């Protein structure tokens, strides 16, 4: 009796037939889907939304607590938890922020932090963009070797360089100066900047660059008119990373910054050490120092997301 391959004599599909393949394919399809996707599909996304909301609340709770503490008087802060504001809204007062504005040391430290963060961010973005374009599209002797050096510098921890750089800055007069802190952050931010932007710029279609060259564009015009607009998302992401790192830094500022005009992170630490109960200044100062990076992030959120997504797609 003649049989079809994969079909048993009684007409039922065999183990190797289409039915087995279909069952195996369905099992593979179910097994290949991520757990989160399967959970969202089964529950209509409701459980997933609840979990995400709980995680968001968990991460926002310290920030909300700091904000509410900054709006309470010193006695209220010392006597009860910040959540008591919801039961006693009369505790809310703006006196703490008035004291903060009157505190010349803390307000001066915010200005010092801006004087360090803005130049360190701009220098890293500008130099990193130029170097990234050079490593991606210009041919020069030792290009690959120098790029390996840049990649190797990514794994050098900041702590290793503190003592040698401190000796160097002391010899050239940059120790405990704003310029010295800016140079330190710039030097340690450049390897990541070059690595990130070089990989992004290398994905730009060569045809676009060749067409611009045929139109008579030089390398500088090519960089400013073609590469920079296409790499805006990656450049914005780099700027946000660098800004957050420098603004929130305390280790480098504690060692290299001027002790008479310290950044906000060091100034708040000194306030804790000198005036342990001066919470009416510490709470609003800490909240203001946290709000500034958040404003920068949300201002460039669209560019940041587009840069991250473009890198993921490529």
User: What confidence tens digit (pLDDT) does each residue in 129-187 have?
Assistant: 999 999 999 888 999 999 999 999 999 899 999 999 999 999 999 999 999 999 999 99
Instruction: Name the CA radius of gyration of the chain, rounded.
Output: 28
Q: What is the pLDDT of residue 4?
A: 46
Q: What is the pLDDT of residue 213?
A: 85
CATH 1.10.3720.10 fits 98-313, yes or no: yes
Long-range contacts of 201-210 (CB under 8 A, 24+ apart): 201/132, 201/133, 201/136, 201/137, 201/227, 201/231, 202/136, 202/137, 203/314, 204/136, 204/230, 204/231, 209/137
CA angle (222 as vertex; 220, 228 as ends), nearest 5: 95
Q: Which two tokens stand for residue 293?
A: 């990076």
Q: What is the pLDDT of residue 1?
A: 47
Q: Which two tokens stand for residue 228?
A: 């920079």
Nearest C-alpha neighbor of 190 from the set 260, 125, 266, 143: 125
pLDDT band at 38 (very low <50, low <70, confident <90, very high): low
pLDDT digits (tens, 9 = 90+) for 21-31: 444 444 444 45
Q: What is the pLDDT of residue 15?
A: 45
Cβ-based burial of 295 (10 A; exposed 0-12, middle 13-18, buried ≥19): exposed
pLDDT band at 269 (very low <50, low <70, confident <90, very high): confident
Q: What is the pLDDT of residue 42?
A: 67
pLDDT digits (tens, 9 = 90+) for 78-94: 777 888 888 888 788 88
Q: What is the pLDDT of residue 189?
A: 95
Q: What is the 3-state composition of the chain as percent helix, strand, coil, each rounded to the nearest 5?
A: 75, 0, 20
pLDDT band at 274 (very low <50, low <70, confident <90, very high): low
The residues spanned by each domain of the chain are 35-93, 98-313
Q: What is the rounded distance in angstroms from the CA atom of residue 276 to the CA atom of residue 282? A: 9
Among the residues of 248-299, which ranges form H helices?
251-256, 264-274, 279-299
Q: How far is CA 107 from the centre of its chain?
A: 25
Point out the least confidently predicted range of 12-21, 154-163, 239-248, 303-312: 12-21
Q: What is the mean pLDDT of residues 309-314?
A: 49
Q: What is the mean pLDDT of residues 208-214?
A: 87
Q: Are 310 and 233 in contact (CB under 8 A)?
A: yes
- Please give the backbone phi and psi of residue 157, each rounded to the nearest 5 degrees, phi first: -70, 150
Q: What is the rounded distance in angstroms from the CA atom of residue 125 to the CA atom of residue 127? A: 6
Q: What is the mean pLDDT of residues 126-130?
A: 95
Bridge partners of residue 7, in order along the sequence: 13
3-state secondary structure of 191: helix
Q: Give percent of the chain above pLDDT 90.
A: 34
Point out the least confidently predicted range of 250-259, 272-281, 290-299: 272-281
Query: What would the DSSP string read from start to end of 9-74?
Result: TTS-B-TTSHHHHHHHHHHHHHHHS-HHHHHHHHHTTHHHHHHHHHHHHHHHHHHHHHHHHHTS-H
Q: Is the pLDDT assigned to residue 302 strictly greater than 90?
A: no
Residues 6+ apart with CB under 8 A from 260: none
Point out the least confidently predicted range of 98-102, 272-276, 302-306: 272-276
Q: What is the pLDDT of residue 32?
A: 56
Place of tokens 């994905």: 203
Q: Are 136 and 196 in contact (CB under 8 A)?
A: no
Q: Are 133 and 223 in contact (CB under 8 A)?
A: yes
């Amino acid at each position: 009796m003649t049989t079809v391959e994969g079909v048993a004599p009684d007409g039922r599909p065999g183990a190797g037939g289409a039915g087995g393949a279909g069952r195996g394919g369905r099992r593979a399809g179910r097994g290949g889907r991520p757990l989160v996707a399967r959970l969202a599909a089964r529950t209509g996304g409701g459980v997933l939304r609840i979990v995400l909301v709980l995680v968001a609340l968990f991460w926002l709770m310290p920030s909300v607590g700091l904000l509410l503490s900054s709006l309470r008087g010193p006695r209220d802060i010392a006597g009860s938890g910040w959540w008591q504001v919801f039961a006693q809204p009369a505790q809310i007062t703006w006196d703490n922020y008035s004291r903060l504005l009157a505190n010349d040391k803390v307000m001066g430290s915010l200005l010092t932090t801006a004087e360090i963060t803005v130049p360190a961010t701009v220098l890293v973005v500008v130099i990193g963009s130029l170097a990234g374009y050079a490593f991606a599209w210009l041919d020069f002797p030792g290009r690959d070797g120098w790029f390996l050096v840049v990649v190797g510098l990514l794994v050098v921890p900041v702590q290793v360089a503190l003592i040698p750089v401190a000796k160097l800055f002391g010899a050239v007069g940059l120790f405990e100066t704003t310029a010295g802190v800016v140079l330190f952050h710039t030097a340690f931010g450049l390897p990541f900047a070059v690595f990130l932007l070089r990989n992004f710029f290398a994905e730009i279609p060569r045809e676009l660059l060749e067409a611009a060259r045929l139109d008579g564009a030089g390398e500088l015009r090519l960089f400013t008119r073609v590469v920079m607009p296409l790499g805006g998302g990656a450049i914005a992401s780099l700027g946000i990373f660098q800004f957050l790192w420098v603004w929130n830094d305390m280790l480098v500022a504690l060692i290299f910054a001027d002790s008479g005009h310290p950044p906000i992170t060091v100034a708040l630490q000194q306030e804790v050490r000198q005036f342990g109960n001066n919470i009416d200044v510490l709470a609003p100062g800490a909240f203001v120092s946290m709000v500034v990076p958040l404003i920068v992030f949300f201002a460039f959120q669209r560019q940041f997301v587009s840069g991250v997504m473009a890198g993921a797609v490529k």
